[in-house]
Structure 1
């Protein structure tokens, strides 16, 4: 069990991360200063540097946490042997949309702010992002092999296309608005499956 001071430390770090996500999402990474972060938390810069070496390290942490959670959920979907490959693809699309709806600022930071990372830090993040895409590619390839999707398709290009369509929802989708998550998933999947199933 964690000691009281350890719990307090984790709570303080989590609160700082939440503040960073909100500020990066609203103002942008470059426009947010460390002073903005500590003032919003009522902390000192010393407290910030106790947990992170730099603002960039915070961005890496946010990216890694976001994609790790997505990968965990994606793996559970893929490993469900009771689902068809159409079902798995549907569930992955729905999961991404739900993730965006539940954390708009987190999604915005993840998709928009990666351009501010150095090449070294970007290379730390990309393998997990690439794995997420490769898993979708694999679902499509296996769906083709099982006859659920038509032959002659480029699974790699289709996986990028699906991610491009779904991920961009962070920019305009309004949770609680007229279009619900389930309806948006249906709209996307009707379009995607039409391409996968019809020649």
Structure 2
């Protein structure tokens, strides 16, 4: 019952926003009583924390599997992390929108729980980039910290516009992004 309620709540928060969604909206959409809601959650913020934790924990688990795979080069690790983010749109798109748009509604205490996990995901990308630079896979004159934010910005913005069932599949979008990241967007115009 809790998971069914969460699916409905995520959809409501995604469409109406956290503040505009009342507990009454939640119980009506789920066909339950307020008592049922309070059996599973303390309040709306408790639900929002659950959405944030589930979303980032899922991504961190996937990222950890990629990063600990010793058979992968840093280039392949970076590719798979971006692919993880893009493929996540199909399965967790509504959660992502809530994750990106509604964090401002968490108390400082709750933000202090979620923010380090978000930072860990970014720092892991930075680590892959830094190790790739040291290994000679990537240009050494780049800043891994800034580049990690660029990679995240590109991939995360996709949650707002990308349609997984549209004409471009997840792999094609990942390939496009990675071509931009690995090769850059400028043509080499050196005359020999």
User: Under TM normalisation by the shorter chain, which class is it?
Assistant: over 0.9
Q: What is the distance in 2 between the residues matched to 1:162 and 1:35?
A: 39
Q: What is the distance in 1 between the residues matched to 2:87 and 2:99?
A: 15
Structure 1 residue 174 and structure 2 residue 166: aligned?
no
Structure 1 residue 161 and structure 2 residue 150: aligned?
yes
- Equivalenced residue count is 186
TM-score by length of 1: 0.90
Q: In the alignment, what sits opposite 2:120? A: 131
Structure 1 residue 89 and structure 2 residue 66: aligned?
no
Q: In the alignment, what sits opposite 1:184? A: 173
TM-score by length of 2: 0.93
Q: What is the distance in 2 between the residues matched to 1:135 and 1:104?
A: 22
Q: What is the deviation of 1:117?
A: 1.3
Q: RMSD of aligned C-alpha atoms?
A: 1.4
Q: What is the deviation of 1:101?
A: 2.0
Once the two structures are superposed, residues 117-176 of structure 1 have per-residue CA deviations (whole angstroms, 9 ceiling, x without a partner) of: 122211110011110000000000000010000112110111011101100101100111
Gaps of 5+ in 1: 1-11
Q: In the alignment, what sits opposite 1:72? A: 61
Gaps of 5+ in 2: none
Q: What is the distance in 1 between the residues matched to 2:46 and 2:133?
A: 41
